Amino acid sequence: MLNKKKRDTSETIMDAAIDLISKKGYHGVTTEEIAMKSGFTEKTLFRHFQTKQNLLESAFHHYHYAEEMQTLFNYEMTWDLKTDLSTICHRYHEIMYRNRKIIKISIREMDHLSGFQKSTHKHPEQFKELLINYFATMIDKGKIIHTDPERQAVVFMYSNYGAAIGRIHNDPILESYSIKSFIDGIVENFARALTP
């Protein structure tokens, strides 16, 4: 019960921070404002997070995709290339769009907060490793051509990342394409290129 209460308090404070920082910027918001919006005291905020930057990093890690993607790769892969790539893409875009406020904050603030980029870069690094292992296993199973798994992982990641960021920022280039249409296209391209 105590752990749930602590988690609920932390999540409430993180949600308040994300909401305020997404509107006013990191330096435009005080810990006192975050505490007030969350309904807790500033003392409670500091007890849970110690610093405002630690609060922001904790929110990023809590809401980003590493854990969900790890679960997906552990339990949902069928070892059918099209099915798996489609599943990976859909989950990735769902997570990125759901967490669009914290993604925008991270892009805007990464150059202004010491150590923030290094801390938050753990998620794409883990995603890259999951993809490398997936492509290597598919090569071993004879389901895709012999290729460089790391190169395929990076190309796949950044194709999806570019679309996710464009969607988050309402890029007009993407207006005529639904996310489903984009995913179908990238899966089709990768499947055509990698299938023996």
* CATH fourth-level superfamily of 2-56: Homeodomain-like (1.10.10.60)
| pLDDT at residue 6 in the model | 55
Tell me the average pLDDT across 101-124.
77
d(CA 93, CA 96): 5
Q: What percent of the chain has pLDDT over 90?
A: 52
pLDDT digits (tens, 9 = 90+) for 51-91: 888 888 888 877 777 788 899 999 999 999 999 999 999 99
Instruction: Kindly write down the DSSP assignment for every residue of 45-63, as one continuous string.
Output: HHHHHSSHHHHHHHHHHHH
| pLDDT at residue 53 in the model | 86
Tell me 145's DSSP state: -
What pLDDT band is residue 3 in, cutting at 50, 70 and 90? Answer: low
Domain boundaries of the chain, sorted by first residue: 2-56, 64-194
Hey, which CATH number is domain 64-194, 1.10.357, 3.90.226, 1.10.3710, 3.30.1360? 1.10.357
Higher pLDDT, 48 or 118: 48
Rg (CA), the chain: 19
Which of 41-45, 86-90, 106-110, 169-173 bottoms out in mean pLDDT, i.e. has the lowest?
106-110
| pLDDT at residue 2 in the model | 42
Q: What percent of the chain has pLDDT over 70?
A: 94
| pLDDT at residue 103 in the model | 82
